[in-house]
């Protein structure tokens, strides 16, 4: 059995004006010892997937986070946003950020001038015809002080846009992985078809990798990680890491048609991601996952737990391949508040707000030299109007 100890929950960042939800984190231990936490800052106080990528830093191992270090990496505009960012630092010190890009028609601008009595844009949102229109990567060679202009990522043959709202992306906490030969792998999910991905007639989502051999400037399709030719299982949001023995391991979020969230599935590769074992169902329920090989050789997965009692959980594998529910442990419980206006969704306001409350977690994980593990994630605050904010949990495992 795995024992979690020295648990400490730390508030990382909450918008002081309660005007912008902050969510979907990606944490990196930089080469200089700083903790770098990237995240999505929404343009609204609710989750809308049209915001901007930001970061904040800690210089004391995640015990405190300095709000003065918060920076916007790629600002949103009146009709464009970016979200679902993930970060990695490669051997030459460059920090890489990859992110999804969306465009939409917003005749009333970034902030709606309409009825704000609900503390959010009116029903229907001012974002008309919002679609993911691509994928991009940005680089920083000075620890995040400055960033390159966005470089478009070629995801072909995976669709970079679709008739549905999303086509290519879903990286979750999918950090770019650097291989011994200098190649870079980017784990993603998506579809080849550009039909509406929400319909039963459409192609199911697959998990795949892109590869770059020039430091991230150019990318090409490298391998299919998991795909169901029967069209029943959607493989989504791959949580992938490379072990010291060279094996790539990956936990996969899945949904089964017509409408069932299933346990996570697992696969691995022993040839740097060229081929992958047929995915197998694990006993772990939750999504999406982030993975990290610990200093003692065990492999840790952390993931959101979006049902009662809610929260974030972790599981340890002793070989990186065998995942057993007996080795699961709780990192945090809760994060889903009850609407202040009633015991359940009754009014329009309740319905609009309560309908998003399941969206918690999206954890990311790293480990300090002293063995302390840092799991970062988002949940809802207990304000009168709950809002996404960022926190981390520091702990050790025995």
pLDDT tens-place values along the chain, 398 residues long: 899 999 999 999 999 999 999 999 999 999 999 999 999 999 989 888 999 999 999 999 999 999 999 999 999 998 999 999 999 999 999 999 999 999 988 755 444 433 333 344 444 456 778 888 889 999 999 999 999 999 999 999 987 544 344 556 665 567 999 999 999 999 999 888 765 555 666 788 999 999 999 999 999 999 999 999 999 999 999 999 999 999 999 999 999 988 899 999 999 999 999 999 999 999 999 999 999 999 999 999 999 999 989 999 999 999 999 999 999 999 999 998 865 555 554 454 554 555 678 899 999 999 999 999 999 999 999 888 889 999 999 999 99
Say if strands 265-269 and 388-397 run parallel, antiparallel, or are unpaired. unpaired
Q: Is the bond into 309 cis (omega within 30 degrees of 0)?
A: yes
Which residues, 6+ apart, have CB-to-CB distance to 290 below 8 Å?
172, 173, 239, 301, 302, 303, 363, 364, 365
Count other C-beta atoms under 10 Å from residue 396's C-beta.
Answer: 15
CA distance 290 to 300: 8
Which residues, 6+ apart, have CB-to-CB distance to 344 below 8 Å?
338, 350, 354
DSSP state of 325: G
Per the structure, the complete domain to which residue 182 belongs is given by: 4-397
Q: Which CATH number is 70's domain given?
A: 2.120.10.10
How would you label 308-333 residue by residue, b for 16+ Cβ within 10 Å and e otherwise?
A: eebbbbbbbbeebeebeeebbeebbe
How would you label 186-222 residue by residue, b for 16+ Cβ within 10 Å and e otherwise?
A: bbbbbbebeeebeeeebbbbbbbbbbbeeebeebebb
CA distance 41 to 135: 18
Alpha-carbon Rg for the chain, nearest whole angstrom, is: 20
Query: What pTM was estimated for this model as a whole?
Result: 0.91
Number of domains observed in the structure of the chain: 1
CA distance 376 to 390: 7
Q: What is the pLDDT of residue 132?
A: 85
Q: Between the CA of residue 292 and those of 63, 67, 91, 177, 191, what are the distances in Å?
A: 20, 27, 17, 12, 27
């Amino acid at each position: 059995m795995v024992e979690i100890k020295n648990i400490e929950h730390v508030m990382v960042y909450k918008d002081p004006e309660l005007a912008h939800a902050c969510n979907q984190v990606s944490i990196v231990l930089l080469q200089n010892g700083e903790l770098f936490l990237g995240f999505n800052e929404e343009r609204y106080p609710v989750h809308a997937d049209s915001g901007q990528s930001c970061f904040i830093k800690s210089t004391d191992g995640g015990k405190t986070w300095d709000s003065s270090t918060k920076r916007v990496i790629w600002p949103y505009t009146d009709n464009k946003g970016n979200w679902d960012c993930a970060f990695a630092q490669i051997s030459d010190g460059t920090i890489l950020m990859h992110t999804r890009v969306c465009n939409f028609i917003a005749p009333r601008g970034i902030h709606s001038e309409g009825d704000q009595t609900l503390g959010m844009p009116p029903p229907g949102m001012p974002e008309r015809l919002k679609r993911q229109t691509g994928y991009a990567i940005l680089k920083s060679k000075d620890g995040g002080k400055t960033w390159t202009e966005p470089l478009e990522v070629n995801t072909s043959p995976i669709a970079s846009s679709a008739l549905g709202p999303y086509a290519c992306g879903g990286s979750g906490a999918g950090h770019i992985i650097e291989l011994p030969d200098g190649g870079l792998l980017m784990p993603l999910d998506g579809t080849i078809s550009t039909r509406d991905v929400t319909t039963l007639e459409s192609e199911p989502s697959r998990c795949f990798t892109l590869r770059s051999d020039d430091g991230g400037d150019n990318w090409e399709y490298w391998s299919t990680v998991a795909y169901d030719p029967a069209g029943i299982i959607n493989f989504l949001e791959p949580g992938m890491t490379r072990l010291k023995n060279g094996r790539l391991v990956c936990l996969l979020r899945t949904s089964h048609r017509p409408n069932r969230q299933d346990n996570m599935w697992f696969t691995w590769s022993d040839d740097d991601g060229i081929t992958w074992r047929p995915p197998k169902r694990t006993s772990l329920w939750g999504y999406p996952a982030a993975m990290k090989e610990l200093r003692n050789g065990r492999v840790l997965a952390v993931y959101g737990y979006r049902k009662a009692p809610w929260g974030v959980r972790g599981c340890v594998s002793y070989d990186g391949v065998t995942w057993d529910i007996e080795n699961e442990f709780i990192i945090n419980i809760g994060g889903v508040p009850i609407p202040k206006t009633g015991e359940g969704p009754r009014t329009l306001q309740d319905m609009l707000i309560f309908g998003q409350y399941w969206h918690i977690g999206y954890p990311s994980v790293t480990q300090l030299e002293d063995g302390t593990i840092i799991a970062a994630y988002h949940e809802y605050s207990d304000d009168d109007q709950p809002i996404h904010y960022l926190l981390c949990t520091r702990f050790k495992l025995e």
